[in-house]
Chains A and B, each alone.
Chain A
Amino acid sequence: MPLINLRNMAINQTGTIVAVKVSGELGRRIREMGLVPGTEITVKQRAPLNDPVALRVMGGTLTLRNNEADFIEVEIAP
């Protein structure tokens, strides 16, 4: 199963987070919103200018910017 960056996921694509490679405030914000390894996410939407992106995580919808999504590695579901 391929590992890709969250930025490169297509709309409606689903995958499981493998790693969140950032510390500090951004890392903490990402984790406290539930974006931790093992979590299943689905890309729901992109903003009109392609950035930010909206994700479905644990029954809720989250948004993050592309440069923040860069730190998140995802294993795509087959």
Chain B
Amino acid sequence: MDNAITVALAGNPNAGKTTLFNLLTGARQHVGNYPGITVEQKEGCCLHHGQGLRVVDLPGTYSLTAYSVEELVARDFLVNEKPDVVVDVIDASNLERNLYLGCQFLELGVPLVIALNMIDVAEKRGITIDAAALGKRLGVPVIPIVARTGRGVDQLLDAVLKVAAGESRPQPAFLRYGSDIDEALTDMMPFIRQCTELTAIYPERWIGVKLLENDTQIGQKAIATHPTASAKLNERCEAVVNHLQNTLGVYPEAVIADHRYGYIKSILHQGIVTRKFVADRLYASDKIDKIVTHRFLGPLIMAGILFALYTFTFSYSTLLVDWLASFFALLNHGVDTLLPDGPLKSMITSGVIDGVGGVLGFVPIIMFMFFGIAVLEDSGYLARVAFMMDRIFHFFGLHGSSVMPFIVSGGIAGGCAVPGVMATRTLRSPKERLATLLTVPFMNCGAKLPVLTLLIGTFFSDHQARYMFLATLAAWLVALCAAKFLRMTVLRGASTPFVMELPPYRFPTLRGLAIHTWERTWQYMKKAGTVILGISILLWALMTYPSLPDERVAHFEQQRQLAHTTLAPGTSENQSEKEALDKALQKIKATEAMEGLRNSFGGRIGIACEVVSRYAGIDWRTNIALIGGFAAKEVIISTLGTAYSLGDVSSEDATSLSERLAKDPGWNPVVALAVLVFIMFYAPCFVTVVCIAKEAGSWKWAAFSIVFNTVFAYSMAVAVYQIGTWLY
């Protein structure tokens, strides 16, 4: 496709850019990340009148400043990749504000086509727009479309082809920014022309405007390429800043913005927009908002909706999760019978199959969650949740949108941090997003629950419900305070402005939901899957090797022989003898497994850690179990079972382990509480860690999460144990 035309889709968030992108490209899209940052790059292709089009979906922005990564990405794409056509998707019912970005495209001089989207909504609101006249005044084609239904899209693509076929790139629009700025720009021109590296890619006047706007990227580039000219430019800029400050008390960027809006007003001033209804009609959205964000009803409705999302994600996905689990159990069983005993079989069953099962086990949950969130996001409700919750979350240095990841991770006990971490994508502010990402694993996920239930059931059976409730409350408190702590230390900085749009309510399209859900689920499988499988095999090796020395293996074999000869001489049909033999053999097997575990690297680490962990009252057996818990928290139970020579203990029925712990002199309620606290807050399971690395865009944060959480959990556990022992 060498002769394919590159079309960049740009526009404000919520203007329907993604809907148009999905309509144009359908399933033929590719999602990637811009190198080094977490902004998604979506690309697809389509065919119009035999002409191939490469469609790139730029991040939704309101402006082209250098303040956010999204805006920089969009701007850099436009100037570096020079797309053949830029389609600016504009919400027709919000024309004036959307044209602010369109105006900046004109200033940049890109080949532009304006898609006047959601023209039907505007018509319903009694707004008619003379697209042809608007196009004439702006000097670019303006095509009314409805991206949801496909109305007008053919004409839009016709216009795109026509612009692409145009001989020369259009000249940057010449806007006036008031006498002070205009004079400064004229004075600056000679020096700007000296910066030839810059003028090769950016329009001259645009560079001047950006310098006056105090744009960091352009400023730095100017200094780097031409220090002397940039010093002169800086001087002139400062003069304008001082002059404007003294006379009007404003900054140049404000004056420039005012003149852009002035230009837009002059374009729209007569005949372009006609309103049939006078004044501010109460739209359907406003009526819904009157109830949905109502002071008392709002939070109640929100609690209901969040609970519904939660139930939907975790209850309805269980069926698929169970199917997958039984499929992998079957597979395990098949391999078990086909292959001879040995390290290969052990690796395939415990490493590979459990690993793949672990990866795929999350897929239904992630799919359901993203579907649920896509419904809330596309309908516009998510913005309302952020609106209502912001006061509380802002106090802890987070953003109103953080509530969703927290709930999904286990804010209602029994969630899962993996989809929770992935749900942070709805946050647009980088610092708040990282803080959310790093603290959601503190919540009580579904895998921690059986462990908590076991310990609480064993040592605090009288107040089981109360302790479970306290555990949930403690998780929230710790997570929020940890977020505050992070925002005051490593993630210090002013909070991102909450200036945000409440988009009108819309019915989500099934197509949009399906694409949304699928692309995110697929990304998880592709990106996280491979790493998770690798770590799973690694953890398996950690718990298996080195294997027991030959003489110990021989010793257990001998014991088995002995059991056979003493308990069941010959081929006895006696039922009680058989049972006794089985029991003895099981006991030998359990002891062997315990010794094997103790001998493995994991076991040795666990024993070595006892030096430190005993201050929290935790012995080596629990240490090993906690290391196993890094694979998945519910593994703590089975590993603890092995460490206490109990054989296989399942997380669903752990009565034997419970009885054993209750009798063990090393355990008492204080130890149990310390362990409980440690399990709640220590390093997230590695699937979560991998997801944190992928979402934060760096393994540094994943490592930070492991260390920070473990150190925190350890200090809490030590405090509980020391104070508890002193009181007890």
Contact = CB atoms under 8 A, between A and B. Distances in A.
Nearest to A20: B254
B355 to A, nearest CB: 44
Interface SS of chain A: helix, strand, loop or mixed? Answer: mixed
B544 interface: no
B98 to A, nearest CB: 9
Given A64-B497, A64-B500, 19 more contacts: A28-B257, A29-B67, A29-B497, A31-B254, A32-B100, A32-B101, A33-B62, A33-B501, A34-B96, A34-B97, A35-B499, A38-B261, A48-B299, A48-B388, A60-B93, A61-B289, A63-B498, A63-B500, A65-B394
Contacts of A60: 91, 93-94, 97, 501
Contact of B62 (A32, A37, A44, A54): A32
A9 interface: no
Contacts of B219: none
A50 B258 CA distance: 30
Contact of A47 (B95, B388, B499): B388
Given A28-B65, A44-B289, A47-B293, A68 B97 contact: no
Contact of A36 (B63, B94, B258): B258
Given A34-B100, A48-B298, A28 B253 contact: yes
Contacts of A1: none
Contact of B387 (A26, A27, A36, A63): A63
B11 to A, nearest CB: 13
Interface string A13-43: 0000000110101111111111111110010
Interface of A: 20-21, 23, 25-39, 42, 44-52, 54, 56-65, 68
B391 A50 contact: yes
A44 B94 contact: no
Contacts, number: 129
Contact of A54 (B254, B400, B502): B502
Given A25-B67, A54-B293, A36 B392 contact: no
Contacts of B498: 52, 63-65, 68
A17 B546 CA distance: 73
Interface string B168-195: 0000000000000000000000000000
Contact of A58 (B96, B293, B390, B392): B96
Nearest to B256: A31
Given A44-B286, A59-B94, A27 B391 contact: no
A28 B387 contact: no
B663 interface: no
A42 B280 contact: yes
B427 to A, nearest CB: 15
A47 B391 contact: yes
B499 A68 contact: yes
The winner among A26, A39, A42, A46 for most chain B CB atoms within 10 A is A26
Nearest to A37: B258
Contacts of A48: 293-296, 298-299, 388, 391
